[in-house]
Amino acid sequence: MAKVTGLEGVVAAETDIGLVDGAQGRLVYRGYAARELAIRYGFEEAAYLLWYGELPERKQLEELREKLAAGRVLTPDLRRLLDAMPPNTPLMNVLEAAVAALTDETTAWPPTVEQAIRLTGLLPVIIAYRHHQSNGTAWPEETQEKEHAAHYLYLLTGRPAQPAHVRALSAYLVLAMEHGLNASTFAARVVASTESDLHSAVAAAIGAMKGPLHGGAPAGVVRLLEEIGTKERAETALREKLERGERLMGFGHRVYKTLDPRAEALRAVAAELAGDDPWLDLARHAELVAVRLLEEYKPGRKLRTNVEFYAAAVMRAVRMPAELFTPTFTAARVVGWTAHVLEQAGHNRIFRPQSVYTGPMPAEADAGE
């Protein structure tokens, strides 16, 4: 039996949800380029597309916004659970436990899109509530804000978000919500294939996401940009790093052999908003300098900008604390996870791969005794 370490290249499912084409640098959501969705549409439209298979009409969009808003409820039981968790519990562990605790008789198999919508609406609330808990800051008053990205930013700061920040975060959330059969999505589909509930599948996905090889935050890019500081220092700072043989964080990608399409989309949004935010303006300039210097120092390597570079730029621009990077990634990816769980349930077969035993065998009795 052939052994494939890490299942790399093994086809484990057929899907209509998303395509990751590393060779051509394409990311497709149900027939639409993710880049175009991020630039032309908002979080709700892209989420509707992944859940329902088509872009929403105006009425459908408003109905989805109402349903997401209805899901943003911290029940007394959920508050007690969050309050009872030790202060040093990492936020991703809090999310994992909270989502698993939401499971009850109303969330049994088969999963529904209504469950997916409620959970998607609730995750940013859990993140923001725990963030305020950890920092000893006040939970903000109720708001009538319906837009998903704007509501999340309001919960974190207690102030209406700047339109440029809402636009940038929304684009990031769209580009982070789906990326093929990655480790966390595979985990969700495996759990769903046992006919366990949607919340358990998502809790398993969060468990995979918090691993540093999968959902590691782009904090290294933030540190790089902070070291650069100003446009005037960009070439000197980057050249010094390359002279010392250091890696420039945010460049190169394991899957994409061309420009990461997610980075391309976030770059377009950053260029559109750069005049409104000096951090995005710095990131755009630093990228141009870095690409030129990488070609000079590492000719032929084609180390293009990856999504972490502009994800870091966007997160820093919207004043997102570094400890919220991976949880925010999770709040976006829950759309893809739930879409895959729903698809798995539609034509389910339990995942049951085989393994190759390499341990010792029992000693055989001596034939002469």
The pLDDT averaged over each successive group of 10 residues in the chain (369 residues) is 67 88 85 94 97 98 97 94 94 96 84 96 97 94 92 95 91 94 95 96 96 73 89 94 88 65 80 72 88 88 79 84 92 98 96 88 68
Nearest-10 Cα torsion for 103, 106, 109, 111: -90
Q: Which residues are catalytic?
A: 253, 308
Region of 118 (left: φ > 0; alpha: ψ -120 to 50; beta: rest) is: alpha
CATH for 219-317 is 1.10.230.10
Domain with CATH 1.10.580.10 in the chain: 29-161+178-212+323-346
Burial 339-355 (b: 16+ CB within 10 A, else e): bbbbbbbeeeeeeeeee
CATH of 29-161+178-212+323-346, one of 3.40.190.10, 3.30.1050.10, 3.40.50.80, 1.10.580.10: 1.10.580.10
Domain with CATH 1.10.230.10 in the chain: 219-317
Please give the backbone phi and psi of residue 249, each rounded to the nearest 5 degrees, phi first.
-65, 140
pTM of the entire structure? 0.88
The pLDDT of residue 84: 95
The pLDDT of residue 293: 93
